[in-house]
Amino acid sequence: MSDLAHLDGILYPPIEPYETGELLVGEGNRVYWEQSGNPDGKPVVFLHGGPGGGTSPWQRRFFDPEAYRIILFDQRGCGRSTPHASSPESDLRHNTTWHLVADIDLLRRSLGIDRWMVFGGSWGSTLALAYAEAYPATVSELVLRGIFTLRTHELEWFYEGGAASLFPDLWEEFIAPIPVLERAQLIEAYHRRLTDPDPAVHVPAAVAWAKWEASTVTLLPDPELVASMTGPADATAFARIENHYFLNRGWLREGQLIADVGAIRHIPGVIVQGRYDACTPIMTAWDLHRAWPEAELVVVPDAGHSASEPGIAAALRAATDRFARNGGGAGAGVDVGEGVGASREFAAGSASGASSDVASGVGSGAGSEAGSGFASYAEASQA
């Protein structure tokens, strides 16, 4: 994607990296990373979605470049990391959740960082939870969006027919490459085609897979997003990596990331979730918040899944702005007074206008009951 001009006034202006590099993470994999913003600022690492989505320059724009040292990297096999999962020499055996968790911590150490904010949406939220639960002492705050934990029912919702009820037209296109007799297990049926070495087999399957996802992650259709995700090489890497992770249930026990949240409840956290997220429905964010009531749950009433939607982008920026000022603090990660001030800054710039009062209606955090620390934009803006 481009720099996403529709987010001007909501996010920070486009910036360029002051440093880029490649991290050798083993098994021949080279991981592209970059730093932008303030070299002496508060470190934040951005975890992209998919898995296999790669990073884009506009994703630097969630962070105040004077306050943050912004680190983006492309997870194994995608984006500018090599070998690219679209290439014949790529081998996904060494590409698992736990390889990525180890890569994140190797990147942290190689950049000389003790603790950093971890920011991730969708698969990036999955990976952020896995990383934070493995290395809680290295995480200063968590900002998560579109929560996805790879439980069986989450995968079945999006890839085995649940979301077909919302998008029957797009679902027909998704299942078109798969013969009728194989449609009872679509992740497996797609796996056979995506791993076929013949581009005449794997490219059309990959494009159909990526198009389904790109077409259903926004509340309103976004042809630019669809075009950006359906080029043959990027779609092939995206589809192959996602399918490999989902076939293997992310190498997680069922429900593991929510069950183990006790390891990170002391870390200040914000969960941003679109009400009409058809890719990672709100129930998972709700389940996470039930298990981690100290985190603030911000529900955006007029958004789907994507971080590029105005209400989601505004809520994410409000969260990083607040943490930039208060440094996170201990415990709650919620500062009612400052949060309200920060949200007003955005309401004016938000394209969706009415619904951007971010942090009012928020509980005081530590010790609060499940259900407090819940902010609905609609409720807040009507208050």
- Residues known to be catalytic: 122, 277, 305
Q: Which is nearer to ligand STX, 287 or 338 (CB)?
A: 287
Q: Which is nearer to ligand STX, 103 or 335 (CB)?
A: 103
CA-to-CA separations, 222 to 114, 176, 228, in angstroms, rounded: 39, 22, 10
By CB under 6 A, tell whether 363 contacts ligand STX. Answer: no
Binds ligand STX by CB under 6 A, chosen from 163, 194, 217, 272: 217
Under 8 Å between Cβ of 350 and 311: yes
Binds ligand STX by CB under 6 A, chosen from 12, 46, 68, 123: 123
By CB under 6 A, tell whether 144 contacts ligand STX. Answer: no
Query: With CB under 6 A as the contact rule, which of the stretches 160-168, 172-180, 209-217, 354-362 interacts with ligand STX?
Result: 209-217
By CB under 6 A, tell whether 147 contacts ligand STX. Answer: no
State the nearest-atom distance from the C-beta of 112 to ligand STX, in Å: 29
Query: With CB under 6 A as the contact rule, which of the stretches 104-112, 177-185, 189-197, 210-218 interacts with ligand STX?
Result: 210-218
Beta carbons within 10 angstroms of residue 161's beta carbon: 15
**335: amino acid identity, one letter:** D
Quote the Cα angle for 129-135-138, to 5°: 105
CA-to-CA separations, 152 to 45, 160, 248, 250, 254, in angstroms, rounded: 28, 10, 11, 10, 7
Report the C-alpha gap between 288 and 82 in whole angstroms. 34
* DSSP per-residue string spanning 146-178: S-----HHHHHHHHSSGGGGT-HHHHHHHHTTS
Binds ligand STX by CB under 6 A, chosen from 12, 62, 148, 190: 148
Query: With CB under 6 A as the contact rule, which of the stretches 47-55, 88-96, 356-364, 371-379 interacts with ligand STX?
Result: 47-55
Kindly state the tokens that stand for 253.
Answer: 């026990």
By CB under 6 A, tell whether 62 contacts ligand STX. Answer: no
Kindly state the tokens that stand for 343.
Answer: 């949200």
Binds ligand STX by CB under 6 A, chosen from 4, 29, 46, 50: 50
Report the C-alpha gap between 241 and 237 in whole angstroms. 6
Beta carbons within 10 angstroms of residue 274's beta carbon: 29
State the nearest-atom distance from the C-beta of 123 to ligand STX, in Å: 3
Applying the rule CB under 6 A, the residues between 221 and 280 that interact with ligand STX are 279
Task: Point out the residue whose Cβ comes nearest to ligand STX.
Answer: 49
Query: With CB under 6 A as the contact rule, which of the stretches 16-24, 48-56, 184-192, 331-339 interacts with ligand STX?
Result: 48-56
By CB under 6 A, tell whether 31 contacts ligand STX. Answer: no
Kindly state the tokens that stand for 285.
Answer: 């964010």
Binds ligand STX by CB under 6 A, chosen from 37, 49, 304, 311: 49
By CB under 6 A, tell whether 300 contacts ligand STX. Answer: no
Q: How many residues bind ligand STX (CB under 6 A)?
A: 11
Check residue 50 and give left, alpha or beta (phi > 0: left; psi -120 to 50: alpha). Answer: left
By CB under 6 A, tell whether 213 contacts ligand STX. Answer: yes
Q: Which is nearer to ligand STX, 45 or 380 (CB)?
A: 45
**Number of alpha carbons in the 13 Å side-chain half-sphere of residue 273:** 27
End-to-end CA separation in angstroms for the chain: 37
Eight-state DSSP code of residue 163: G
By CB under 6 A, tell whether 122 contacts ligand STX. Answer: yes
Kindly state the tokens that stand for 349.
Answer: 């710039």
Query: With CB under 6 A as the contact rule, which of the stretches 34-42, 46-54, 73-81, 249-257 interacts with ligand STX?
Result: 46-54
By CB under 6 A, tell whether 356 contacts ligand STX. Answer: no
Q: Strand locations in 139-243, DSSP E?
A: 139-145
Report the C-alpha gap between 320 and 12 in whole angstroms. 11
83 upstream amide cis, omega within 30 of 0: yes
Kindly state the tokens that stand for 322.
Answer: 């607040």
Q: Which is nearer to ligand STX, 44 or 375 (CB)?
A: 44
State the nearest-atom distance from the C-beta of 144 to ligand STX, in Å: 12
By CB under 6 A, tell whether 77 contacts ligand STX. Answer: no
Residues at the contact surface with ligand STX, assessed by CB under 6 A: 49-50, 53, 122-123, 148, 213-214, 217, 279, 306
